[in-house]
Amino acid sequence: MSGPWVEIDLKVLEANIRQVRSVLRPETSIVFVVKANAYGHGLKAVAERAFSAGVGGFAVAYVREALELRRSLSALPIFLIGVAEPVDVSALIEHRIVPVLTSLEQARALDRAAALHGRPLPVHVKVDTGMGRLGFPWHEIASVIPELQRLTHLDAAGICTHFASIEPAQPDPAFTQYARFCTARELLEEAWGKPLFSHVSSSLPFLFKHEWDFNAVRPGILLYGYEAGGALDRVTTEPILQWKTHVIQVKTVPAGATIGYGGTHVTNQATDIATISAGYADGYPRALSNKGIVLIGGKRCPVVGRVSMNWITVDVGPSSGTKPGDEVVLIGRQGSASIWADEVAERCDTISYEILTGIHASVERRYVG
Ligand SMILES: Cc1ncc(COP(=O)(O)O)c(C=O)c1O
């Protein structure tokens, strides 16, 4: 019997995009973050449907992702939000991929490489307003402007930043980052004498403050169906990915039976143990050993024993009627039961992003809708 597979509902993706689109001003575009193989959903299929649903551009981390995207989408802007290197410059210019500038050293190197091309390289200046990761520290912007202006083979077309945290109950760090961004933007726009295409909001800031939409918003996880709701209810979106597999063996065991490597689970009654075809090699976290929940027969059933490389053992209860071939849902819904990536994540102390991007690339993606 084959292993697990993923089902992605592109109609739900479309609906999610429409939701976000419907609350934006017409002139604000959605730059959809599709790095990491569209958060594990499959870059090509997701990007093509997103394009037809009204997304205005895409953001990726690596040049190879940008090039893959460009093969399917000839027209839309593609932003490289990782760090471009001089060797990338000819591909960036030729395929109209816009990188972010993250430091003066990188800017100088890109400028030298662009000089060989006869066409300037459009770039967006990335300002580090408090994330502490990539970009020009906000307090150094004034001092780097003269040097940036000397790099005539770069065309500063935009400016962006990324928020480290959005806590509606404690919004001060986000407001501080926003204020720093506005200061940096003012300085750069004044120096270049033109408005810069500005984008700051990933999913949570987008939900938090419509005043921060600027020229584009840059959501990822929200369009894959997570993080909406709760205190931040500007839109609601639905998960688009389900992860499924099959039962491959069922055995009835007595009370006191040990299950899996290390015998970490001991049954407290006679019960049916279903072995299912998925494991940590497929991306199901080993940290879900004795903690996970899967859906079988429309019921939430506990993962018992250690998750192994290709198989997981599940207690489906006494006289369950479960049989080999029954469908199992690792993420998704079955009848009225559901388990979504955010709950899976919480059960093993991580975030939905890591669960989704962790589904191994070899797991077949099937598209519906
Ligand atoms: C720079 C940048 N912008 C936007 C996003 C999208 O974030 P989210 O998926 O939380 O919307 C990310 C995600 O990692 C990012 O690194």
Q: Counting atoms of ligand 1 from 1, which one is nearest the CA of 203?
A: 11
CATH code at position 364:
2.40.37.10
323 in any annotated domain: yes
Do 205 and 275 lie in one domain? The reply is no
pLDDT for 40 equals 98
Q: Does the beta carbon of 199 lie inside 6 Å of ligand 1?
A: no
Query: Domain ends where: 224, 250, 280?
Result: 224
Is 261 noted as a catalytic residue in this protein? yes
In this structure, the answer to whether residues 209 and 168 fall within a common structural domain is: yes
Residues 305 and 207 reside in one and the same domain: no
Is there an atom of ligand 1 within 6 Å of 126 CB? no
166 lies in the same domain as 268:
no
User: What are the structure tokens assigned to 220, written together?
Assistant: 């990822």
The confidence score (pLDDT) of residue 289 equals: 98
Counting the structural domains of the chain, the total is 2
Of 20, 134, 214, 218, best ligand 1 pocket probe by most atoms within 8 Å of the beta carbon: 218
| Residues 150, 258 within the same domain | no
Nearest atom (ligand 1) to Cα of 33: 6
In this structure, are 168 and 253 located in the same domain?
no
Q: Give the residue numbers spanning the domain of 258.
A: 241-368
Please give the pLDDT value at position 228. 80
Whole-number pLDDT of residue 167: 87
Query: Counting atoms of ligand 1 from 1, which one is nearest the CA of 202?
Result: 11
Domain C-terminal end among 193, 224, 255? 224
Q: Which of 11, 194, 261, 323 is catalytic?
A: 261
> How many angstroms separate the alpha carbon of residue 220 from the centre of ligand 1?
6
**One pLDDT digit (tens) per residue for the chain, 369 residues:** 679 999 999 999 999 999 999 999 999 999 999 999 999 999 999 999 999 999 999 999 999 999 999 999 988 999 999 999 999 999 999 999 999 999 999 999 999 999 999 899 999 999 999 999 999 999 999 999 999 999 999 999 999 999 999 988 899 999 999 999 999 999 999 999 999 999 999 999 999 999 999 999 999 999 999 988 766 789 999 999 999 999 999 999 999 999 999 999 999 999 999 999 999 999 999 999 999 999 999 999 999 999 999 999 999 999 999 999 999 999 999 999 999 999 999 999 999 999 999 999 999 999 999
Asked if residue 164 is part of any domain, the answer here is: yes
Q: Quick check: CB of 124 below 6 Å from ligand 1?
A: no
Own/partner contacts of 56-59, CB < 8 Å, gap of 24 or more, are 56/29, 56/30, 56/31, 56/216, 57/29, 57/30, 57/31, 57/32, 57/216, 58/31, 58/32, 58/33, 58/34, 59/31, 59/32, 59/33, 59/34, 59/35, 59/218
Give the global pTM: 0.96
Asked if 211 and 182 touch (Cβ cutoff 8 Å), the reply is no
CA 266 to ligand 1 center in whole angstroms: 42
Last residue of a domain, one of 173, 194, 224: 224
The alpha carbons of the chain give a radius of gyration, in whole angstroms, of 24
Residues 138, 185, single domain; the answer is: yes
Domain shared by 51 and 187, yes or no: yes
Task: Write the CB contacts of 186 (distance below 8 Å, at least 6 apart in sequence).
Answer: none
My answer on whether 73 and 180 are in the same domain is yes
Cα dihedral 288, 291, 293, 294 sign: positive
Residue 68 lies in a domain: yes
- Examine the domain organization and report whether 202 and 288 are in the same domain: no
pLDDT at 1 (0 to 100): 62
Same domain, residue pair 33 and 179: yes
Q: Say which of 35, 126, 209, 244 is annotated catalytic.
A: 35
pLDDT for 272:
98
Q: Are residues 151 and 216 in the same domain?
A: yes
> Among this protein's residues, is 35 annotated catalytic?
yes
From ligand 1's centre to the CA of 35, what distance in Å? 9
CATH (domain of 17): 3.20.20.10
**By alpha-carbon position, which residue is closest to atom 2 of ligand 1?**
162
